[in-house]
Structure formats: C-alpha cells, structure tokens
Structure 1
Amino acid sequence: MAMREHIAGDCSSDFALAGNFPFGSPESRPYASRERVQSILQTSTPDAALYVEAYFRVYNPSLPVLDLSAFTLKMKSFYDSQDIADPSWLAQYFVVLGLGAYATTRNDVAASEYFYASEACLAKTSYMYRPLTIHINTLCLMVMAKSVAYATCWALDTSWNVMGLVVRLSMTMMLHKDWMPGLQEPAIACERQIRRLLWAAVVYLDIQMSLITGQQSLLPQDVIPIGTERRVPVILEDCFESILPQSFSVICHFLVRINSQLDQITYEEAMQYDLELRQLMRQTSGLPGNEHLRSTLDVFFRRALSVLHGHYALARDAALIHPVSYWSSLECNFAMMRHHQNLGLSPEQGSDLRLVAQPYMLDFLAAALTACVHLLSTAPPANYPLPDRQTILGTLKDCVELIGKEESKSLCFRTGYHLLSAVFDLTCR
C-alpha cells in the first residue's frame, strides 16, 4: 500500500525548492530585476553576518567549497562598495545566505527567497559557456540546498541530474587536471590547491548522489584521480586532499561494476574493495577535527560499503557462504543507524546536529530497512552470534520514530515510514 501511494501520489510536496531548481525555476523569475535584488540585500543586512556564520558552522565543514577568510573579505568589500553589478558573486552570496537562514530559522520558505535570488543571478553569468570556480562552488551549494530541508527521493534524483552538469562544467575548465604542474610561484600554487579541493568536492558530491539514488556515477575513470601529490593528513579537514581522493577511484570502480550486467563483482573482489576502503577509514579515526565532518565522512564510507556488499550480504545463508559481506553490511548499517540516533536525538534545543542529519535521511532509511532484513533472515551460525538483538532493536525503534517525525513533510517520507514500520513490526514478533 505504501508503494502504491508513492507511485500514484502527488510528488509536489516532496520539494522544498522547485523541482527544476537551479535551472529555470519559475519561482526565480521575480528575482531577475535589479530592484528586487537591492530590496533583498537591504532587508537581509541585519541578519547577514549571523547567516554567514551559521553556514560556515553547519554546512561548510562537510563540503568545504568556500574559504571563510576570503569570503569574509569579499563580503566586507561588497558592502563597502554596494556594487551589485557582479552576478557571479551575488549568486554565491545568496545561496550562502539561504543555507545560513535555514540553519538559523529552520524555515525553508524564508530560505527559499535567497535560493531563488541566487538562481536568478546565476542565470546572468557565463557559467554554461565560460565557467569559473565561483560558478562551480555555487552550483555545489545549490545541490546542497536541494536537500537540507527535504532530502526526499525526488529531490535527490534531481540533484543527481544537476551533478551531471556540474561534473561536465568542471571538466570544461580542466578542474580534474593539476593547474600548471611544476610551477611553484605562490599565486599559482594557491590556485592549484583551490582547484584541486573544488574538484574533490565535486567528485565527493557526485558519488554521494550515486550511492543514495542507485544511479551510476558517470565520471570517467581516468579523470577521478586528483593531482599527483599525496598529503599525509594531520587534521580531519585534510581528508579532502588525501584520504577522500584515494577512495574515489575505488568507489567509482565498483559502482560502475555493480550497475553493469556484464562485469559483476565477485565475492573475492568485494572483499578486496572492502579491505581498501577500511584501510582509508582507519586513517581518519585518530585525526582531530570537526565532529560534523567526522560523522558525515563515516556515513559516506559506510554507505559505500553497504552498497558494495548488498548483493552478497542479503543472499540466502549469507552468513555461511559470504561471511565478510554479511557482517560488513550488518556492522555498517548498524553504525549508520547509530549516527541517525546520535544526530537526531540531540537533547539540545535547536542543535546543529539535526541539521547535519537531514540531508542523509534516505541513507538512514536504507540502513534501517537493511538492518531489518538482516534480523529477519536465517539466523547466523552459533559460532558467529549476532550482536545483542535487543540493542539493535532499540536503535531501530529510535530510527523508526525519527523518520516518523518527518512523515507529514512529504509523500516520500510518509511512504518510507509506512514501509519501514511494517518491516520493523515483523522483526519484533
């Protein structure tokens, strides 16, 4: 019944922003006028610093496409001159204000005004035929904006479509290649690092969309490696220049094969991919750094491992025949549920943790459903006992209730909640 409702239902409620955002949303048309832009800038001035601080506190750590000091200097210069002639800067500024406004007020309607203004400003730039780094990071933030309030299946499917264009625009400006390799002048080295970090963010976001939608990443395998230098990470934030780029080739390689009808992954190959990813995960464990980033990185890796092992982990008698896949899948999905529990049940009123959790709602739903299937499957052999069943059920119960709180927001969440509730009830019998 839940699936029939989803197929037949009206999906318009599943979007906090228009489905076509950020390319041609009718809602963005009023913001094309100079007068409307000036009006928004004037009304936002009292809250602008608060919104920018909220964006950098909540969202930038998980996708570091902007530098705080550079952005702050540009913002000060902009307000000193009151020059609104640069649509590229305005597009970036408005999307940051929108994300910050949502993080501050939890009001997606109020935030959407900034997002549509950003879209209208972007349309006035050369992003399609002469893209600049400012256009690419603005588009990445627009993809983030599509899921911060309602990370529904429809919103994420459209985000996967948008990322296809972002990848191609990035390749048009050669982000996937080192900028002037061999030259070490400070300005060139700085630009090289900016471009390398931005390409890492693009690939990371593209893979995230592929993992959760089930769609194949269309990144060519030969463009995924990022630069020739390999930094040793000192803090967690260094992962975008070290650990994550090393993981991209591994994940993209098995994603292509999982979606292929001709070159299926063998169980032995799945174990090798698992080994390579877990070695990279272990490198992050002892690094100091932002805890929001730590959580989102762990969800990223565990979602990738869950997708990798899905075919073998959920097969009949998997615990006997494919034990590595069985236990890796169970462990990863339980860990994702714990993240959902920790982020969603924060006792602090207005906690940032719930904001960090929202874009990953479908990852958490998939983890809970997979854990239920594990609990309903044939019991593992006595020498491989399940972790305490009541502990898993308790975590599952919390996750079901957290997803239930989102039920009224959209058809997607309502369908997912009804489906998960029905399966969870079976596990409790």
Structure 2
Amino acid sequence: MAASQSPYACDTCRASKVRCDKTRPRCIRCLRMGNCCNYAETRASHRAHASHQNKPAVPGQSPFPRRNKPDNSISQFQPARGPMRRNRVPKACLRCRQSKVKCDRQEPCGRCLKADRELECSYPTGSMLTDKNPDATRQVIPLYKQTFHSGHHWSILVENIESLLKHHRWPGNHHEQHMEQENLYSSMGNFFGSMSPLHNATRRALLSHIPPRDVADSFVEHYLKIIEPSHQILHVPTFLSEAERFWDKPSALSDGWLAQFLAILALGCHLVNVSSGRSDMNDSGILPSQLLDAAQACLQRTGFMIHPDLASIRALCLFVIFRQTKGVVCIESAALWPATGLIVRLAVMMGLHSTAPLHNSHGRRSPIDADIRNTLWASVILLDLRQSLAAGMPVMSPSRDLLSEPLFSIDHALLGVADRPEGLLFPQLIYDTLPHIFKILELATSAQVTLAYSLVATYDRQIRALLKDYQKPFLSVHKSDIDTFDTKRFQWTMIDVFFRRVLLALHSRLYQEPQASTRYPVSYWSSLECSLALLSQQRELWDTVSASSSSGSTTAVTAAFFYARLFQQEFFLAAVTVCFHLVQTQAPFVSSADNSPKCQRQARHTILDLLHSCKEIWGNEKETSICHSRSFEMIGTLLAIVEDDAQPEEGRIPPPCPGIEPSLPTCQGDGEHEYCGEIFQLQTWNNLPSMFTDE
C-alpha cells in the first residue's frame, strides 16, 4: 500500500526551503537525516475535513448528515480561531522595508551604510509584526519602570502622584504602548564600542575620519571654551602640545590618544552644529556620530581594560559626556551609570587616587604630573556622582582611602594657568566637599537607615551655607569681559544644579510623607525652593538659546544649549516635584486657591507661570525622542489638573492674609504689594556656620 501524501511540505523542509516528497509518516529527507518530520496540524485537519465532505455516500445511508448536538464541553474552552497569517522571518531592515527595496541583511545593511544611516539600521522583532492594527493599544510597563531606581528618582514621584490622583482625572493611557518603544533597545548602539562598521578598521582608515586641520581646530576650540572649563578632563597645555605633534606626525601618538582626540572632535562638531543651527551634519559633511564611532574603534585597539592610561580614562569620560548631551531616552541615562562606575574602577586600577608612585613608574612623580592626575581623579569621581544622581541610582560611597582630603596643593605657576585661576577652582571646590556629600547622600538614600529630621535640617543649612559662600567668586566678574563672564557663569550653573540636586536627594524621603508641610517644614519648603530654582535655571538657559538672533555672543548660546541638554534629567525631576506639591490637597500655599490669601494666590500664580514655560520648553523638544514627548504630555496633564482645581468659586471673596506659624510662609506688605517673605528668603539657613569648620 502506497504511503499517504500530504499536499503541504513538512515543517523541516519548509524551514529549509527545500523540496519535500510529502510522504508520511516521514518524508525521505527527514528519514535520511534522522529528523523529526511534522506536518502542520491545522492543514492536516483542513485536508481531513475537505476529504470528509467530498466522500461519496455509502449505500443505505441517508445522504443528509446527522445533526448532532454541539459539544459544549469542548467549544466552551476552545478559543476563537482568527485569520491565519504567515509567520515569515523578515528579509529586510525597517528602512529597506519602508522603501520597498532589496536588503542584503547585513548589520548594518549596505544601503543604510551608503546613506550614512547605519545607526538607524534595525530589524523588526516578532512582537512588532504580530499586531498589525495601529488602533490597538496595549498596556505595557513604561521604560522608566523597567529599571531599578532609588527613592530620589523622579519615577518614585510619578508613582506617588498616581496614587494621589487615583480617583481624579489622571489619564489612564499614559502607559500605552508606543510604536517605537519595543525597538529602542535594538536601535541604540552599545557603549564603549558597538559593532559599528569601523570596529575592524585599520588605523589609516580611522585617521581618514579626521577633518582638515582648520575644521578640527574649530572643533577643538569650541570644546575648550564650552565643555572643558566645567569638566576639567584635560590638561590643556599638554593636550595642545600633543596635538601639534600629531599634526606633524600622525603616527607619533598612541591609539588611546587618538581615541581621546576623536572624542573631542565629536563633541566640538556637535557644538559647531548647534551654533550654526544644524541638528546633525555641518557644512563639511561631518557627523558627530561618525567621529564617536571612530573614537570607540580606536579605543578598542588598545588594552584599556587591562592596562588603562590617562588617555583611555579621558576618552571614556568624553564618551559619557557625549552620551549625556545626545542621550534623549531615559534608559540611556540609566545605562551610563555602570559606565561611569567602570571608569572609576579603571582609574583606581591605574592608581589615580593615590599620591604614591606605582611599581612600574620610574622615580618620583613631578608636582605637575601629580596635580594633573589629581585633577582627573576629581573629575572622574564627580562625573560618577552626578550620573548616579541623574539616573536615580544608588550612591555608592568610595572608601576612605580613595578620597584623600585635602587632595589639591596646586601651584598655579607650575601648571601655567596663573592668568586663569578659575580653571582649577571648579574641581577644587567640589572635590574637597565630596567626602561630606557622599556621607550625607549615603545616610539620606539608604534603605536600612532612617535619617532623623533634625539631622536633615542641619545638613540642609550646612549645604546652603556652602552654596552661598561659593557663589561670590563665580558671579563677581564684570560683564565687560565676555569670555570670562560666560565661563564663570556656566561653571556656577554646574555647581548650583549639582548642590540643588543633592538637596533634593537629601529631602526625597521626608517631603513625600503625608502632611510634610507641618511635620517636616524644612524638607517641604527646601524641596519646593530647589525645584523652582532648577526650573528657573532651565528657563534662563533656553532664553539664552532663543535670544541667539539678538545676542552677539555665539559661545554663550552654544553653551546654554549644551547645559540645557546636559541637565534635562534634573530639570524634569524639578518639574515633577513641583507638580507633586501642587496636586496635594492639604498642603499650605499650594492648596486650592478659592479660599487662600492673596499673597498665596500670587505665589501660586507665579509657580504656574513657571510650569507653563517649562511645558513650552518640553513642547519644543517633544519631537526629539519618545521620552521628551512623554514628558511634555505628563507635565501638560498635571498642569491641567492643577489649573482645574485652582478655579475659584464665583462670588467668593478670598480672606485676608492671616498670621501663621514661622514654619509656614509669612505674608508681609503694605496692602497693595503683598508677598510671602519666608518662601524664598533663606537667610536664616544660609547664615549658619559651615559644616567644614572644626567644632
């Protein structure tokens, strides 16, 4: 008897795309290879059903089929079968599929590589192909909830706001699936050397990405004017002399230095594009991402994980800074946290934290070399701490032998910067306070330790006193010296944002407690004041960017755009913190405005105006990424809820400004111009002695 045949090929032959003889129980190919031969059950049942219908009637049997009762026990649990779809493996990337052209299935493919779109070359996953209905929305976990965050991250505030607005008009679709959310992980390249087209390139091919000298000098100049004063990654005289050697003989310097140089060119190219009003490519046709890929490829040619040096440490720091300004997705900020931790450990591995010479060094280090290493170590530690706060990750305090205090005994004449003493003021200022900052943050953010309110208030006064003491040397420069004024202005922006972020982390646990305005007034008002100060910084930076046509200082406009992008995590945290204060129903000064005094309504109106300007800023940036658009929608929704609650009842006269306790805002004035004096006046906190005096 001949073996029965199937009109469909078996699964193994279909997957291999070869001819199948369709014999059962196993086809000839599966029989020879010893594979399991399976036929699709749905097709087999369909064939059996079709053969049953075409079967001729048996003599003596009724030609009409017997009507049986349906088996409810089976049909009850059998799901409805939808339309059959082909489950094919996609043969083209998303860009080629959209253009309907042939794709070579490489990573990246040839067409994307020729069009300089290698970073956009990605292939759809199975989950992206299953749901073809664009109107169907699925409730998924947001990106910011897919990663662990400490209590000082804005995601914890968002969860608290959701609980406060559980029975309110908080929209339920703010967690809906975005069409590009599932492809974010596959589209972003890995840090510190992704599988880019340059990962196997030769040194000559990498050198070909360096622009001509006049263009490169422009990139380096922009970096040294805008980024270097507030980060202190390089020793500028040494770098300039090494750059001269490179232009004379490109093979004279190592691959690590070349990676550092290409990273500086990438940052400078990005700044030049900003100053010229372009988003990506400049007049020379150079992409910052191409320069960064070349820098990562150069770093891969070195043994930086086994034997790190100063050039590799600097290159890694520059990679992080580039990602901080170009990173537009919230998960990128979280991914930079382990990257900065790696930099700290590599710096410890090469002994940057120690003043004693290593065994492989010849003789004693010169004072200049020691100060260069100390400055770089301070920059690395500060970069890691800033990234921990921005990403909302645990603050891991280094051991005592890693933070030597005081670190700097710097002679400006030795370093050749006697005419620019402000160049070393920033790392000196921050590093000397880092042991105390680490101690405060470790106590305030630890899950096992509950910091007493009295200690929190004491730390708040000490940090504010420190912030006030260091404000004068940065803002005392006359505006006639434009370059020095802009440099110190943005250095002060860096310091102010850092310390206010520390204060928000210090009070993150107490100001979110119920009735925090009466139980923990210092934490309540300090968190509100720091958030408003950060939003004011954001508005000032973007006002500088928008005033580019009337302003004569192009450097200030470019620097303002750079720092506005650098602190986007801190600014969004400030906006969410202010919204958290406004949505509470039993809080003073921010309660419903129909029965509040005139001074409180005026202050509330000022805060709402500030939030409106913040919303406009995020609205201008909403096309940048998914996270920017979600931030704009979230702030707009919360602002609409607050404004709806603030509508006063018709015909109701607000009461006069009452006298209240010193812990709450006290209203003063002559009847026409009333203001709340204790809301923004912090002299009682700032005039206390600093915590760094020996008591």
- TM-score norm. by structure 2 comes to 0.57
Match of 1:271 in 2: 457
Cα deviations across residues 15-54 of structure 1 (Å, max 9, x unaligned)? Answer: 8xx44121x301263563223213212x343410100011
Matched, 1:9 2:178: no
Q: Which amino acid aligns with 1:361?
A: Q
Tell me the amino acid that sits aligned with residue 566 of structure 2: P
User: Is the Cα contact below 8 Å between 1:221 and 1:249 reproduced in 2?
Assistant: no
CA distance in 2, matches of 1:115, 1:56: 18
User: Which residue pairs with 2:611 in the alignment?
Assistant: 396
Q: SS of the residue aligned with 2:400?
A: helix
Tell whether 2:247 aligns with 1:247: no
Moved more, 111-120 or 147-156: 147-156
Candidates 162, 178, 191, aligned match of 1:21: 191
Q: Which of 1 and 2 has greater Rg? A: 2
1:177 aligns with 2:385: no
From 435, 441, 447, the equivalent of 1:261 is 447
**Paired residue for 1:195, among 352, 373, 376?**
373
Cα distance in 2 between the residues matched to 1:357 and 1:314: 27
**Equivalent AA in structure 1 for residue 489 of structure 2:** E
SS in 2 for 1:306: helix
> Residue 31 of structure 1 contacts residue 120 of structure 1 at CA under 8 Å; is this kept in 2?
yes
Provide the C-alpha distance between the structure 2 equivalents of 1:401 and 1:293, rounded to a whole number of angstroms.
Answer: 26
CA distance in 1, matches of 2:223, 2:206: 21
Which residue identity lines up with residue 348 of structure 1 in the other structure?
S
SS in 2 for 1:129: coil
Q: Tell me which amino acid in the other structure corresponds to 1:9.
A: Q
Distance 1:309 1:14, change over 3 A: farther
Structure 1 match to 2:243: 75
Offset of 1:84 from its aligned partner? Answer: 6.2
The 5 Å alignment of 1:20-419 reads: 20-22=190-192, 24-27=193-196, 29-30=198-199, 32-41=201-210, 43-83=211-251, 86-106=254-274, 107-108=279-280, 110-179=287-356, 188-229=366-407, 237-288=423-474, 290-346=488-544, 347-349=547-549, 351-352=557-558, 353-377=560-584, 378-380=586-588, 388-419=603-634
Distance across 1 between alignment mates of 2:543 and 2:640: 22
Q: CA RMSD in A?
A: 2.9
Amino acid at match of 2:191: F
* Alignment check: 8 A CA contact 2:328 2:627 kept: no
Question: Across the two proteins, how many residue pairs are aligned to each other?
Answer: 422
Taking a change above 3 Å as real, the CA distance of residues 354 and 141 of structure 1, as seen in their structure-2 partners, is: same
C-alpha spacing 1:359/1:328, structure 2 compared with 1 (3 Å): same
More deviation, 89-98/268-277:
268-277
Q: Could you tell me how far apart the structure 1 residues matched to 2:252 and 2:407 are?
A: 39
Structure 2 unaligned spans of 5+: 1-172, 282-286, 413-419, 475-486, 590-595, 645-695
Letter in 1 for 2:378: A
Matching residue's letter, 2:201: A
Q: Which residue of 1 aligns with 2:667?
A: none
Hey, what's the Cα distance between the residues in 1 that align with 2:366 and 2:401?
21
The more displaced of 94-103 and 293-302 is 293-302
TM-score (normalised: structure 1): 0.90
| Kept in 2: contact 1:6–1:415 (CA 8 A) | no
Quickly say closer, same or farther: Cα 1:385–1:174, change in 2 above 3 A.
Answer: farther
Q: Which amino acid aligns with 2:438?
A: C
Deviations 1:351-372, CA, capped at 9 Å, x for gaps: 2211221011111011011011
Distance 1:387 1:305 in 2: 26
What amino acid does structure 2 have at the position aligned with 1:220?
A: P
Aligned-pair identity in percent equals 27
Query: 1:211 and 1:94 mapped to 2: Cα distance?
Result: 28
Matched residue SS, 1:408: coil
Q: CA deviation at 1:303?
A: 0.9
Where do 5+ consecutive residues of structure 1 fail to align?
Answer: none
Larger CA deviation: 411-420 vs 373-382:
373-382
Distance 2:507 2:581 in 1: 13
Rate the CA distance shift 1:7–1:140 in 2: closer, same or farther, 3 A: farther
Q: Does the CA contact (< 8 Å) of 2:328 and 2:628 recur in 1?
A: no
Q: 1:34 to 1:237 in 2, by over 3 A?
A: closer
Judge conservation of contact 1:226–1:245 (CA < 8 Å) in 2.
no
- In 2, Cα distance between equivalents of 1:131 and 1:226: 22
The answer to whether the 8 A contact 1:237-1:290 is kept is: no
SS of the residue corresponding to residue 201 of structure 1 reads helix
**2:397–2:442 Cα contact (<8 Å) kept:** no
Seen in structure 2, the aligned counterparts of structure 1 residues 83 and 176 have a Cα distance that, compared at 3 Å, is: same
Q: Distance in 1 between matches of 2:408 and 2:357?
A: 17
Q: Letter of the 1:311 partner, please give it.
A: R
C-alpha contact 2:246 2:253 (8 A) present in aligned 1: no
Which residue type is aligned with residue 338 of structure 1? S
SS of the residue 1:218 aligns to: coil
**1:73: how far off?**
1.5
Partner amino acid, structure 2, of 1:49: D
Which one has a larger percent helix, Structure 1 or Structure 2? 1
Query: For each residue in 1:60-111, what CA deviation from the matched residue of structure 2 results, as whole angstroms up to 9, or x when unmatched?
Result: 1221111322222211111011326610110000000000000001344610
* 1:283 shift after superposition: 2.4
- Flag the structure with more relative contact order, 1 or 2, with Cα contacts below 8 A and sequence separation at least 6: 1
State the distance in 1 between where 2:537 and 2:248 align: 43
Q: 1:108 to 1:264 in 2, by over 3 A?
A: farther
Q: Note closer, same or farther for the CA distance 1:4–1:337 as it changes in structure 2 (3 Å cut).
A: same
Residue by residue, what CA displacement relative to the aligned partner does 1:183-224 show, whole Å, maximum 9, x if unpaired? Answer: xx9962111111111111111111111111111133423245
* More deviation, 379-388/283-292: 379-388
